[in-house]
Structure formats: structure tokens, C-alpha cells
């Protein structure tokens, strides 16, 4: 017997700038998800960010590997599969974007690294973007900062009792220099 899949699309905003509280908010949201049955499976899509061009960043659950406390990050109009559908951005995709921004000038790179440090410290991305001088109206920067936020959060959940976001930060710093 084939399972019936029931999709749910919901909005979700993280309103904390504290790493532990960010994890608590996610887990509390997921605790409200409905359990499946032998014939029924629930899937969830969470709209978590909106970019200035209208593109969404969204999370899906359960993941392909179905590990429970994880999610897949998607960003519209960023990375695509050959058939044209959204592909989850990889750490390499993010780092490539950051390198492209840094390649513009040393001033752009310094401003980006400071902004990434704020995102790493859980500052709200819209607030960080609003405080930028050179990169404030740059879609590529906004997208990179918002994707980085969710990748940092994903790492915190995947490596719950370990280094979490530190691993991704290390990879970024190897390519664009120290953030913060």
C-alpha cells in the first residue's frame, strides 16, 4: 500500500539572537508537526526568509536521509538542478558567492566579513543588511548572509553537542579571511 503524502507549507521566523534560543524555537516548531501513520506521511515546507527580489529561502522536512532533527535549505533563484528546480545550496556554493563578493574590492570584503561575523553571532539578517554601507542594496550579499544564517543553524542542529557552526566558519575563513 502506498502512503498518502500530506504537504504542509508554513511561515516561520526566528526572533532570537541567542544561539540556544534559536535551537529551542526550531525544536518547539517541529514538536507541533503531526505524526504520520502506516498509510500517511506529513511533509513540511517552512518559509523562513524573503529576499528583496521576492525569492524565498525555505526549509523542508523530513530530509532525504530522514534523520529526524534536521532540514534541507533551499533558496529560490540561486542553485538549480538540470531540470530547473531548486537545488539545496552547498557550503561550496555559499563560499563561491562570498568569494565573488570579496573579489570586488578589499573594502567590499571587509564589510562582508564583518557582516558574516554578525550573522555567525545570531544577529538578524535584515538588521545586518540594513547596517551595510557598500553592500546594502546588493542581492548577492543579502542572499549569501541569509543562506549563511540557515547553514550555521543547520550545523548547530546536526552537531548538537559539538562545534556546530564553527566548522562552517572555519571553511569560510580559509577562503575569504577571518570573519567578525
* pLDDT 10s digits, 62-81: 887 766 678 999 999 999 99
Spatial contact of 147 and 79, defined as CB atoms under 8 Å apart: no
Rounded distance, CA 101 to CA 114, Å?
Answer: 13
Amino acid 112: pLDDT:
98
Helix (H, G, I), strand (E, B) or coil at 138: coil
- Please list the alpha-helical segments (H only) found in 2-123: 19-31, 91-102, 106-120
Amino acid 30: pLDDT:
92
Helix (H, G, I), strand (E, B) or coil at 83: coil
- Indicate whether 43 pLDDT > 80: yes
Structural domain range at position 25? 4-176
* pLDDT 10s digits, 80-126: 999 989 999 999 999 999 999 999 999 999 999 999 999 999 999 99
Helix (H, G, I), strand (E, B) or coil at 143: helix
Spatial contact of 120 and 180, defined as CB atoms under 8 Å apart: yes
E-strand ranges in the chain read 4-11, 40-50, 56-61, 72-75
Which residues touch 70 (CB under 8 Å, ≥6 apart)?
61, 63, 154, 157, 158
Rounded distance, CA 62 to CA 71, Å?
Answer: 6
**Tally of domains in the chain:** 1
Amino acid 158: pLDDT:
85
Take residue 148 and report the three cell numbers written for it.
Answer: 549563511
Amino acid 76: pLDDT:
96
Amino acid at each position: 500500500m502506498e502512503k498518502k503524502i500530506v504537504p504542509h507549507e508554513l511561515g516561520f521566523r526566528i526572533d532570537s539572537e541567542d544561539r540556544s534560543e534559536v535551537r529551542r524555537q526550531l525544536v518547539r516548531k517541529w514538536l507541533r508537526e503531526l505524526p504520520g501513520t502506516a498509510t500517511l506521511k506529513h511533509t513540511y515546507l517552512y518559509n523562513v526568509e524573503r529576499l528583496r527580489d521576492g525569492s524565498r529561502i525555505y526549509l523542508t522536512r523530513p530530509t532525504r536521509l530522514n534523520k529526524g532533527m534536521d532540514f534541507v535549505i533551499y533558496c529560490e533563484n540561486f542553485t538549480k538542478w538540470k531540470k530547473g528546480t531548486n537545488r539545496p545550496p552547498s557550503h561550496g556554493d555559499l563560499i563561491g558567492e562570498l568569494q565573488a563578493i570579496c573579489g570586488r574590492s578589499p573594502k567590499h570584503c571587509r564589510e562582508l566579513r564583518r557582516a558574516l561575523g554578525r550573522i555567525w553571532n545570531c544577529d538578524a539578517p535584515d538588521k545586518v543588511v540594513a547596517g551595510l554601507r557598500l553592500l546594502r542594496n546588493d542581492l548577492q550579499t543579502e542572499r549569501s548572509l541569509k543562506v549563511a544564517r540557515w547553514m550555521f543553524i543547520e550545523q548547530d542542529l546536526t552537531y548538537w553537542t559539538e562545534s556546530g557552526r564553527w566548522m562552517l566558519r572555519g571553511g569560510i575563513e580559509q577562503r575569504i579571511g577571518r570573519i567578525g
